[in-house]
Amino acid sequence: MATKSTYDKFPVVRVTGSDSDCRVGWRAILDAIRARVTSGHMVICVECYPGSFEREIERELAEGLRPELTLRARECYLGPSAIRCLSERDLGDDPVFGRMNDYHISDFLDPAKQAKARKKIEEAAGLVLVVGTGASLVAGRWDLLVYADMARWEIQMRQRAGTMANLGLDNFDESPGLKYKRGFFVDWRAADRLKQRLFPSIDFLLDTNNAKQPKMISGAGFAKGLRAAASRPFRVAPFFDPGPWGGQWMREVCDLPPGPPNYAWCFDCVPEENSLLLGFGGVAVEVPALNVVLGHPRELLGEAVHGRFGAEFPIRFDFLDTMDGGNLSFQVHPLTEYIQEHFGMHYTQDESYYLLDAGDDACVYLGLKEGIERREMIADLWRAQREDYEFPAEKYVNRWPARKHDHFLIPAGTPHCSGRNSMVLEISATPYIFTFKMWDWGRLGLDGRPRPIHLEHGINNIQWERTTAWVKENLIDRFEHVEQGEGWSEEHTGLDEREFIETRRHWFTKLVPHHTRGGVNVLNLCEGEEVIVESPEGRFPPLVVHYAETFIVPASAGAYTIRPHGPSSGRPCGTIKAYVRTRA
């Protein structure tokens, strides 16, 4: 563990060295927009990502621009009952899971209301302001397009605070979990499809994640920022969240505030959820990291990975902290055929636990014991769900001791969880939120309620033949020396034949050569205080990485090197790297 935190919680991708490329505050934003306003008929369209405070944005712009006509996209929506009916089949009644789908924002619009709005726009003689999610569809055409983007983490904070509802609904008082589910499966999918289509047309990008300090950059500056991220090693902005099993390791190592009782999660490389901070001089503009995936999938992912997954980032790195905490929920992930049939997802969450740190009593529960009775285990799981009964986990499940730098492979269908006093770097595929909890150790969530259990789904996916001997041989510390050079060595860290993620570990005291080989790489500095990532050809600016930080190397970066830097110069360092393996 590092003695003093050097973890950068706000990593920035530098775009320009001038603050003048970014407007901060409504006065400066309005000045920039007014400079583009012409006399006569003109349409300014402000397309908003769901979760934006549309009324506040409308108020500021209307007061500053004094349009002849202001139209709100939400006034052209279908009614709430029609919207709920539209999404009912894919959302169902499960509190967590829905089905992947192909919704578009246009599905939410009432054609008759939209036609009336269009007629009003056409009849207006002066300035027209159209605001909201779907504003570009309502307007049809525009003279100036402002895109108000919104980070997923900020959306979740607004959901929890009860300050936002889902698209077309007034469900402010609904539980944050249900609002997140609808956002995840419906609102955000539809909005991302529209956003991707609008990328080439954006005149200004508006960041209102901090409602008190809005920021705006030009569409050209936004495009330049995405190109920069897609061509060089970079980090996304991590976020941290407490949980019923959370620990204290991240609070110290990542220098987190003392408020929450613990920190359980850190998403350190999940572009679907994380933000990207684009630096304009001393100002950072926050946008969803997913924008890079949507805007430059080939440069970021590489041709083969993009051809296989489309504009989706298939690798996830996150932290699970149980140091001085509790066990994770006992769980299993769906098999590929199961997730396809039941949830419309085309790949599943194969994963692994890499131990960044471990207490003396740390453990990982993985696989089943030899000779257990299947029906008896199932009966005990159901009894623990229905009665005041503690599931005897160690009667049925292997409890393996865990040490720092151990690596446990967890192909889908393998029952598992991390035990207390473990600091796990979870390396996995990214099929979103499909985890089947089967036992939560009899505890409540932070909201004082039991967390959802998906026992039937879990039982349907348990691979009962994955017992002690098989797990020991196939899933634990399958380190194999691959290559070495002056001052470095490389290990293959194991791979189940059903998994598509390859992992490699490097130990080094000197420069290590790497190459993306046409596919995106994700790495974490698992040992050492500081390293530097460089291009031997000078194709990108150097990136300094600190202990426990995760970083992405786009496929387009090609050759790169990593060497100890600063306080780590000449001292042992280690990285764990993941990439999508190429099939022979």
Q: What is the pLDDT of residue 584?
A: 45
Q: What is the DSSP letter of 310?
A: S
Residue 442 Rama label (left phi>0; alpha psi -120 to 50; beta): left
Q: Residue 419 in 3-state DSSP?
A: coil
Closest of 286, 289, 311, 90 to residue 197, by C-alpha: 311
- Kind and range of the H or E element at 306? helix 303-309
**What is the spatial distance between Cα 245 and Cα 416, in angstroms, rounded to a whole number?**
15
CB within 8 Å of 552: residues ≥ 6 apart: 233, 234, 235, 236, 269, 300, 520, 521, 522
Q: Are residues 439 and 502 in the same domain?
A: no
Q: What is the CATH number of the domain that holds 190?
A: 3.40.50
Asked if residue 242 belongs to a domain, the reply is no
Q: What is the pLDDT of residue 306?
A: 96
Tens digits of pLDDT across the chain (584 residues): 445 889 999 999 999 887 789 999 999 999 999 999 999 999 999 999 999 999 999 999 999 999 999 999 999 999 999 999 999 999 999 999 999 999 999 999 999 999 999 999 999 999 999 999 999 999 999 999 999 999 999 999 999 999 999 999 999 999 999 999 999 999 999 999 999 999 999 999 999 999 999 999 999 999 999 999 999 999 999 999 999 999 999 999 999 999 999 999 999 999 999 999 999 999 999 999 999 999 999 999 999 999 999 999 999 999 999 999 999 999 999 999 999 999 998 888 899 999 999 999 999 999 999 999 999 999 999 999 999 999 999 999 999 999 999 999 999 999 999 999 999 999 998 866 889 999 999 999 888 888 999 999 999 999 999 999 999 999 999 999 999 999 999 999 877 777 899 999 999 999 999 999 999 999 999 999 999 999 999 999 999 999 999 999 999 999 999 999 999 999 999 999 999 987 64
Strands 204-207 and 144-149, bridge-based pairing: parallel
Q: Are residues 134 and 271 in the same domain?
A: no
Angstrom CA distances, 174 to 106, 156, 179, 241, 365, stand at 25, 13, 7, 21, 35
Q: What is the pLDDT of residue 1?
A: 44
Q: What is the pLDDT of residue 294?
A: 97
Q: Are residues 432 and 283 in the same domain?
A: yes
Q: What is the pLDDT of residue 497?
A: 76
**What is the spatial distance between Cα 23 and Cα 246, in angstroms, rounded to a whole number?**
39
Laid out side by side, the sheet with 69-72 consists of 22-24, 215-218, 204-207, 144-149, 42-48, 127-132, 69-72
Structure tokens given for 378? 């199932």
Write a three-state SS string for 346-362. Answer: CCCCCEEEEEEEECCCC
Q: Are residues 161 and 49 in the same domain?
A: yes
Q: Are residues 447 and 531 in the same domain?
A: no
Q: 298: buried, middle or exposed (CB in 10 Å: 19+, 13-18, 0-12)?
A: middle
Contact 483, 577 (CB under 8 A): no
Number of domains in the chain: 3
Q: Are residues 139 and 276 in the same domain?
A: no
**What is the spatial distance between Cα 290 and Cα 275, in angstroms, rounded to a whole number?**
8
Structure tokens given for 536? 């031997």
Q: Which domain holds residue 221?
A: 12-229
Taking the alpha carbons at both ends of the chain, their separation in whole angstroms is 39
Asked if residue 115 belongs to a domain, the reply is yes
Listed residues 474, 498, 514: the one ending a domain? 474
Q: Are residues 155 and 292 in the same domain?
A: no
Q: Are residues 347 and 402 in the same domain?
A: yes
Q: Residue 248 in 3-state DSSP?
A: coil
What is the number of residues in the chain? 584
Q: Are residues 91 and 209 in the same domain?
A: yes
Q: What is the CATH number of the domain that holds 516?
A: 2.60.120.10
Q: Are residues 528 and 456 in the same domain?
A: no
Asked if residue 574 belongs to a domain, the reply is yes
Dihedral in degrees, nearest 10, Cα atoms 243, 244, 246, 247: 140
Q: Are residues 414 and 368 in the same domain?
A: yes
**What is the spatial distance between Cα 275 and Cα 9, in angstroms, rounded to a whole number?**
11
**What is the spatial distance between Cα 82 and Cα 541, in angstroms, rounded to a whole number?**
51
Q: Are residues 198 and 57 in the same domain?
A: yes
CB within 8 Å of 119: residues ≥ 6 apart: none
